[in-house]
Amino acid sequence: MTLWAWTVVALVLSTATVVFLARPLGRGPQPERREQRHELTLLRDRLLAQLNELDIETGDRNLDPEVVQDERRRLEGELAQVLRDLDAAQAAAPAAAPATEAGRWRATLIVLALVLPLAAAGLYVLNHKVAPSNLEALFEGAIDVPMDVLKMVKRLEKRLSQQPDDAPGWARLGRSYAVLGRPEDAKAAFARAYGLAPEDRAVVADYAWFLYNQDPSNTQGLVSEIYTRLYRLEPQHPGALWFLGLAAYQKGEAKQAIAYWERLLKVLPPESEESVTSVRAAIAQARAEARHPPRQ
């Protein structure tokens, strides 16, 4: 696959939360902005912890679904505003920041992409994918996460030891392990969830996302099997349409790739302009190769 094509892959995978990662992350706050950023960071971590707490309590207790949904919307709305404020403060600061600060900011955004149950249509489109260039930050080791989150993971582990048939719980634990830099544990948890609920679209999508992000260059084997199942369960799933198109493209089946990606265009929300542009670029590239296949 050409470097240009991989660039398109990265662009398509970079929507919603990951858009923040493309912005300048190497800048640090000026002294007068440090207090504001510190307060925003504390608020961000607190909201993240509350969202995770809500997820766990939803499984632990019989809560009213409408109450849970309203509370989730409120927390997500506050968190979105905090992220915008943090991003604005980051962009306005010209001083260079240590690499660890940039890495921590990337990691926090990845946490959001993995853990938060995003409801907005634009975020749902690609919420099971992370740009390949950001995978090292996800899997290279434990990242800086709020202590409350670590405690919640322990609680989730304990609950699953008592309720081992909770497939969504295992999937949530898999996402948590991935964020904590424990890919082997994450893989085992996702596999456990999938074994319990192979027909659950959310569980299958989580497992497919994880396998793909372990090696974005690989579109064969188990990851292909899981995405194919996801496609069977939900033929309009954007992630499945993109992956199956990519797999066809890698096998030299440009026309088949075009068919998947044209269907993907129809289900992308209008506001996801970057994704639409990138998919169209991928289609154009595939059409060019279909007209002039590379010589063997």
pLDDT tens digits, 193-221: 999 999 999 899 999 999 998 888 889 99
- pLDDT value at 97 more than 70: no
167 confidence band (pLDDT: 50, 70, 90): very high
Sketch out the chain's domains with CATH numbers: 3-290 (1.25.40.10)
- pLDDT value at 56 more than 70: no
Tell me, what's the pLDDT at 180? 79
Per DSSP, 96 falls in state: E
235 confidence band (pLDDT: 50, 70, 90): very high
The region of weakest confidence among 89-93, 103-107, 153-157 is: 103-107
What is the average pLDDT across 120-145?
36
Tell me, what's the pLDDT at 245? 93
Tell me, what's the pLDDT at 129? 38
Question: Of 283, 287, 11, 276, which is closest to residue 131 (Cα–Cα)?
Answer: 11
- pLDDT value at 119 more than 50: no
What is the average pLDDT across 95-124?
37
- pLDDT value at 52 more than 90: no
Average pLDDT over the chain reads: 71
What is the average pLDDT across 261-285?
87
Separation CA 110–CA 178 (nearest Å): 10
Report how far Cα 62 is from the mean position of its chain's Cα atoms: 28
- pLDDT value at 45 more than 80: no
94 confidence band (pLDDT: 50, 70, 90): very low
What is the average pLDDT across 267-279?
83
- pLDDT value at 96 more than 60: no
- pLDDT value at 276 more than 90: no
90 confidence band (pLDDT: 50, 70, 90): low
Proportion of the chain above pLDDT 70, given as a percent? 61
> Distance of CA 268 to CAs 12, 155, 216, 275, Å?
11, 37, 21, 8
Question: pTM (2 decimals)?
Answer: 0.56
Q: Determine the number of helices (DSSP H) and then strands (DSSP E) in the chain.
A: 14, 2
Is the pLDDT higher at 168 or at 80? Answer: 168
Number of residues that this document lists for the chain: 296
102 confidence band (pLDDT: 50, 70, 90): very low
Q: Is the Cβ–Cβ distance between 246 and 13 less than 8 Å? A: no
Tell me, what's the pLDDT at 9? 41
- Cα torsion 4, 10, 11, 15 to 10°: value is 180
31 confidence band (pLDDT: 50, 70, 90): low
